[in-house]
Chains A and B, each alone.
Chain A
Amino acid sequence: MAEGLRQVISRNVWKDNQVLRQILGICSSLAVTNLMTNSLVMGLGLTFVTTLSSLTISMLRNLIPHRIRMIVQTLIIASYVILVDIFLKANLPDISKALGPYVGLIITNCIIMGRAEAYAQKNPPLLSAADGLFAGIGYTLVLLIIAFIREFLGFGSVFGWQIPFLNFEKWTIMVMPPAAFFIIGVLIWVMANLFAPKSGKKS
């Protein structure tokens, strides 16, 4: 493919953002977003896994038999997720506990599988790694936006740091699950409107 690094970046972070445009990887993106710190850690974990699994799968792309590629990809992804899980347990035990099963669930995150299938299968290793890296960054940014809205309105804080001179009634609903659905619905609406005139298709 004649796609340069610049296109890879703009496609993954903005134009075809995995969460808001492709509606992938929603499971984990919503569950951890009531606190910004958790979201950042989750986003970094996912970025690490997508980058390295895209790199590995792309390097092995001519060696993996086509028929069993799904299970091979899953195993490669699972190995990297185990690294992330062990790292978090050893260094950030509190956050690891708060994230609970969602670290393990990175394995079934559709973004990683989607990048592996759609990109790393057919492209050289370095470009694939960049693709995975920026898909992960796009995901992290969306997570942080949602988490910022929820944490700010729900707890009145940012990254756990209480904002001074700000005494409004906290929106308890923001900490609860429904708010995540509302916020992501509205974000998808905004993004769809931004791109509608150009693409003209209903998603």
Chain B
Amino acid sequence: MAGEISPFVIFFASILTSNMILSNFLGMCSYISISGEYKTASGLGKSVTLVMVFTTVINFAIYHLVIVPLNLQYLQYILFIIIIAATVQIIEMAMDRFLPDLHVKLGIFLPLITVNCAILGTTLFMVIRDYGFVQSLVFGLGSGLGWWLAISALAAIREKMAKTKLPRGLAGPGIAFIITGIMALAFIGFSGIFTIQ
């Protein structure tokens, strides 16, 4: 069934209707804790997008070239997590060597990304939905962009709210969740366009 969905639809659906944060709840930990400041949040979003594209493609190759032929499905979690950790390391080293400016900006986020559930989640969704190569590529890219969009939007809202007086105890994570809830409600409005689930 997954073979029939056009990559174009997957791309927009993974940004808008099946947004990693707002409808799949993935990557929440860093989403809540690093959304106090717009610039930092946007930097994290960019790094996540980059890592997500690379890991999705590499995990796609590993899944179809190694895991399926050797019947190693029961080891897939271990392989995926090692590959994600290794990819993050390699991207960090390559960035340090070739794009030092970018490395200064994004470097601090890269180690954090290894344990970001959204990355592993994208890979697992790809395997479960049985995507082809192009589909996986756009799915990784779209999920990353969607994650970036959501964290930037939340950070921008929280920056504007910094001066607002909130009830005691609601400040911090509490209000972040309520804002996210309202954002998720707004994104449901897109669901008429297309869905992939």
A104 vs B163: C-alpha distance when bound (angstroms):
40
Q: A27-B29, A71-B85 are in contact. Are A203 and B173 (CB under 8 A)?
A: yes
A173 vs B181: C-alpha distance when bound (angstroms):
11
Inside 8 A of B173's CB, which chain A residues have their CB? Answer: 23, 185, 188, 203
Inside 8 A of A178's CB, which chain B residues have their CB? Answer: 181-182, 184-185, 188
Minimum C-beta distance from A172 to chain B (A): 11
Inside 8 A of B185's CB, which chain A residues have their CB? Answer: 173, 178
Inside 8 A of A86's CB, which chain B residues have their CB? Answer: 74
Q: A75-B78, A193-B168 are in contact. Are A101 and B121 (CB under 8 A)?
A: yes
Chain A residue with the shortest CB-CB distance to B111: A70
Interface residues of A (CB under 8 A from B): 23-28, 30-31, 71, 74-75, 78-79, 81-82, 85-86, 100-101, 104-105, 107-110, 113, 173, 176-182, 184-186, 188-190, 192-193, 196, 202-203
Contact B29 A176 (CB under 8 A): no
Contact A110 B177 (CB under 8 A): no
Contact B29 A26 (CB under 8 A): yes
Q: A101-B128, A110-B115 are in contact. Are A185 and B178 (CB under 8 A)?
A: yes
B104-154 interface (Cβ within 8 A of A): 115-117, 119-121, 124-125, 128
B156-184 interface (Cβ within 8 A of A): 167-178, 180-182, 184
Chain B: interface size category: 35 or more
A121 vs B155: C-alpha distance when bound (angstroms):
34
- Option from A31, A78, A101 in Cβ contact (under 8 Å) with B78: A78
Minimum C-beta distance from A35 to chain B (A): 15
Minimum C-beta distance from A190 to chain B (A): 8
**Residue among A107, A176, A181 with the highest chain B CB neighbour number at 10 A:** A181
- Cβ-based interface call for B23 (8 A): yes
Minimum C-beta distance from A201 to chain B (A): 10
Contact A108 B181 (CB under 8 A): no
Contact A196 B169 (CB under 8 A): yes
A186 vs B175: C-alpha distance when bound (angstroms):
9
